[in-house]
Chain A
Amino acid sequence: MPYVPHSPEEIREMLDVIGVDSVEDLFAEIPAELRPKSFALPKGKSEMAVLQQLGEMAAKNTTDLTSFLGAGFYDHFIPTAVDALSSRSEFYTAYTPYQPESSQGTLQAIFEYQTAMARLMDMDYANASVYDGGSALYEATLMAVRKTRRRKIIVSEALNPIYRVMLDSYTTNLNLELVTVPHNHGRTNVKSITAAVDKDTAAVIVQNPNFFGSVNDFTEMFAAVHEHKALAIMSTYPVMQSVLKTPGQMGADIAVADGQSIGQPLSFGGPYLGIMTCSKALVRQMPGRIAGRTEDEDGKPGYVLTIQAREQHIRRQKATSNICSNQALCALRTLIHLCLLGEEGLRRTAILSVERAHYAAERLTAINGVEMFTKGPFGNEFAVSLPVNAFEVIDKLTERGIIPGFPVGRYYEGFENVLLVACTEKTTEEQIGIFAEILRGTI
């Protein structure tokens, strides 16, 4: 039987030591009435047959289209060494590092990841990652509720709608008040958000660049938020964070992101990772695993999981959160990717992506009837208004081998003609040219 090494003789010897006649005797405590009513799983297959079957299923997916899809998840190039190093089995077949002396590889990598994330966001501290960008936002929200003991959360409508629906689900049973402040033609409505903050507000949540790609400065708004003793939570896009004014500079208390864009394949939605960073004052409210530096008996530096007194396995129902698994291997991939690119490589990735997006914006808006929807500065993603329904355009262009972007009307009523277009350093000018020409011929 695959992966079970016991030979019949060994099974006999082991049963004799236990003092039972058969393996089935070991299950005698499960009464007959509780035994499975059916167990109609298919018969096992050879490795070759399974690989063939899965290969055929993979081939039913289309991955050879030129894609301008983003919406928070981006197709950046992953250096080959990321796969080579993260697939070392000492990393990927290990568990949570409960025995630090035999887990220094994982622990030091987490410590370095925490440092890299804190620097990228320009915040004091980071944890060892949570599930994804959306759950990071939800955990950040709960941090603010615990810290301020208030229940009102103000959310910008220009925050990724996928995260807004997640926040709705998670807070249903928690007696929190979510107030959504409408966007203003794709811009985060700083004035309205600032006006909505009051003494009951636990936090405001904004995104930069926002869902429509618009780049913002929230410094003044965050100062106003702090005057009301509320917290400022900012969702970011980590690649762009190498060039943009930082959450730290703007005065954010918590900065989160989805780390997919640095080191993770798109993989139909996961595994990704939630990046979570915060100011010094909030570190004991931060959920999840954290690696800390210490010394061994000889004074040699080493790493352990630390400040665990906040965690579920010690505090149980009083724990800061229920998080147990993080996304350690994904965090390792993000760290390796960052190390391979380095300061210069990460900046180039960001600038190339922005350069291509601005070229795309120029080419698309040269078409009659296509106008910029995103106003003001933008990064590697932007929205355009089309003279026709965006869903239809996507449908037609997909037939021609191009996915032109994401239909904003999918989440924003009344914006059915708006198309969200993303570029990365992988997008070529030639692809953009073909996209523009086909679009011109379609509308």
Chain B
Amino acid sequence: MKTVFEKSVPGREGCWPEEPKSKIEDFIPTELLREEAGMPSLSELDVVRHFTLLSQKNFGVDSNFYPLGSCTMKYNPKFTEVVAAMPGFAKLHPVISQLKGAGRHCQGALEVIHETESLLSELTGMAAFTMHPMAGAHGELTGVMLMAAYHRDKGNKKTKIVCPDSAHGTNPASAAVAGYDVVSVESKDGIITPEALAEVLDDEVAGVMMTCPNTLGLFETHLQELVEMIHEKDALLYYDGANMNAIMGKLRVGDAGFDIVHLNLHKTLGTPHGGGGPGSGPVGVSERVKPFLPISRVEKLEDGQYYLDYDAPKSIGYVAPFYGNFGVYLKAYAYMLRLGREGLTRATEGAVLSANYMRKRLENHYEIPYNRICMHEFVASAVEQAKNGVRALDVAKALLDKGHHAPTIYFPLIVKECLMIEPTETENKETIDRFIDDLIEIAEIAEKNPEKLQAAPLTTSVKRLDETKAARSMVITDDIK
């Protein structure tokens, strides 16, 4: 399909504002001005049709099953969109809160922040939350900065952060970006053992970043012992909340001894991810990390009024210009109010039930490397199919032809030909059964007719795309100077 730039016709009228009375030269000297910017010229219908047609080339949760492991692509209820668009929220300028006495003009917004933080604290068992981080990885970076501030305040000299080999790639990247050396700990039978941790855990370790259940979908059964070992070294324990959907109502990470946690609201709490963002990655902390939270914090006065507190001498400072992705966590707040404690627990139960059902029904058709009770996701492997030349990638593309989005493939890195599957709680049994049946059929075709799978997908708007060519030729704008 042609790009908007290729469709542009000079002089075609778009959605123009009124004509100015003056020329720009009347106000700003010519030498400070530019020539044309090269924006496209289209009619409103041209634009509407272009983007409508583009949308039809996309899979979203509303159109297709999206079992993308570690990403929790559940259905997001529609009413939360209405909440975020309410003019009382959408039209509110963020600096209004910084004017003298103007906290009175944003009491509703401050209340949303305060209440969302309270609900998240209860959900996770943490002492306090900040809503400032704008994505999960941004929450991780904030978390690592909090670790650094904690150790700096205590006079600790610590230079390392430990990440398991199954960690999300963002964990080691966040630790490194914040200035730490990254040490890897190997998992055994899919989980971290106290022995393996002991090998890397020394006095220089500032913190350990864990995902529990981990990216293999397994609960860390040595968790209590690991927590004790880590705290003995005065290291902090970080919880990567990407897999939070597996434990709501069943485990609170604060009660379990974690010091810092980030949540991916777009994964667990019903906020859509928009094709890659925006997200929201609030960070919760235990009592001893609380003094270091980012500026500012919303506090409540005895008379019920809310205000912004900037007085935090030990704070890591500002990680966002204002209060994070407010419009996103408004939706998460509404989602939590709607589901309540029973609904959130039930969501977790549904997700775990569906994942185990799927794992069990697939076990005779695909290798399941860790075939035991899993949490909300599990890992299958196409190693058997690979013997016939059908790789995880081919299975993924064949699933696209069947009308499903593919699972996450080739992650975690420690499993060969990995397919990480996460059905979520919102898909009904018919959809789950159809997906399983399609995967079984693909396994059968892999035996008899492998080349058919290597040609997939055939039903999408384009056939299999050449990613190597893209990286080599690097055409990333419509026109390169």
Contacts and interface: CB of A to CB of B under 8 A. Distances in A.
A17 B4 contact: no
Interface stretch (A221-229, A341-349, A366-374): A341-349
A329 interface: yes
A266 B462 contact: no
Contact of B32 (A100, A103, A217, A358): A217
A267 B92 contact: yes
B51 A109 contact: yes
A131 B138 contact: yes
B477 interface: yes
Interface in B436-465: 455, 457, 460-465
Contacts of A4: 343, 346-347, 350, 425-426
Given A166-B321, A244-B28, A295-B465, A341 B3 contact: no
A326 B20 contact: no
B322 A338 contact: no
B15 A217 contact: no
B197 interface: no
Nearest to B409: A98
Interface stretch (A148-156, A185-193, A304-312): A304-312
Nearest to B97: A268
Contacts of B94: 73, 266, 268-270
A438 interface: no
A65 interface: yes
B463 A339 contact: no
A195 interface: no
B301 interface: no
Interface string B38-80: 1111101001101110111111111110101001011111010
Contacts of A62: 96, 104-106
29 contacts: A33-B224, A39-B345, A45-B338, A59-B108, A88-B51, A91-B275, A93-B63, A98-B408, A101-B463, A126-B477, A132-B134, A217-B32, A244-B28, A265-B91, A268-B94, A271-B327, A283-B474, A293-B470, A298-B463, A307-B471, A308-B471, A319-B173, A327-B274, A339-B47, A343-B37, A348-B19, A350-B24, A394-B102, A398-B102
Given A99-B406, A101-B463, A309-B471, A91 B274 contact: yes
Nearest to A292: B470
A296 B320 contact: no
Contact of A15 (B48, B345, B353): B353
Contacts of B288: none
A332 B338 contact: no
Contact of B93 (A69, A100, A294, A307): A69
Interface residues on B, range: 35 or more
Contact of B466 (A215, A271, A295): A295
A247 to B, nearest CB: 10
Nearest to B456: A101
Contacts of B251: 30, 34-36
A142 B36 CA distance: 31
B440 to A, nearest CB: 14
A306 B470 contact: yes
Contacts of A199: none
A391 interface: yes
Contacts of B317: 165-166, 168-169, 172
A102 B462 CA distance: 8
List the 7 closest pairs (A to B, CB-CB), nearest first: A329-B274, A269-B322, A58-B88, A44-B340, A169-B317, A60-B108, A328-B276
A340 B319 CA distance: 33
A75 interface: yes
Contact of A63 (B92, B112, B141): B92
A5 B41 CA distance: 47
A425 B42 CA distance: 21
B321 A134 contact: yes
B137 interface: yes
Nearest to A217: B32
Interface residues of A, number: 210
A95 B71 contact: yes
B32 A215 contact: yes
B230 to A, nearest CB: 15
A95 B350 contact: no
A338 B429 CA distance: 43
A32 B475 CA distance: 56
Interface in A344-365: 344-352, 354-355, 358
Interface string A199-218: 00000000000000001110
Contacts of A342: 8, 12-14, 16, 39-42
Interface in B343-380: 343-347, 349-350, 352-354, 356-357, 360-361, 373
B322 A246 contact: no
B59 A102 contact: yes
Given A1-B343, A69-B95, A327-B278, A41 B119 contact: yes
B291 interface: no
B64 A271 contact: no
Contacts of A377: 27-29, 32
Given A115-B478, A269-B323, A34 B224 contact: yes
Contacts of A165: 317-318
A94 B275 contact: yes
Contacts of A319: 169, 173, 176
A434 interface: no
Given A103-B275, A358-B27, A391-B100, A268 B467 contact: no
A79 to B, nearest CB: 5
A166 B330 CA distance: 24
A100 B175 CA distance: 29
Contact of A352 (B18, B112, B138): B18
Contacts of A60: 88, 107-108, 111
Interface stretch (B177-185, B231-239, B384-392): B177-185
Contact of B326 (A27, A97, A258, A268): A268
B364 to A, nearest CB: 12
B31 A217 contact: yes
A34 B256 contact: yes
A312 B177 CA distance: 11
B425 A3 contact: yes
A329 B275 contact: yes
B346 A120 contact: no
A386 interface: no
B47 A294 contact: no
A312 B173 contact: yes
A131 B135 contact: yes
B343 A44 contact: yes
Contacts of B475: 292-294
A319 to B, nearest CB: 4
Interface in B80-123: 81-102, 104-109, 111-112, 119, 122-123
Given A6-B429, A63-B88, A245-B34, A325 B273 contact: yes
A158 interface: no
Contact of B470 (A85, A304, A312, A328): A304
A300 B463 contact: yes
A351 B322 contact: no
Interface string A47-62: 1001101111111111
B106 A268 contact: yes
A72 B93 CA distance: 11
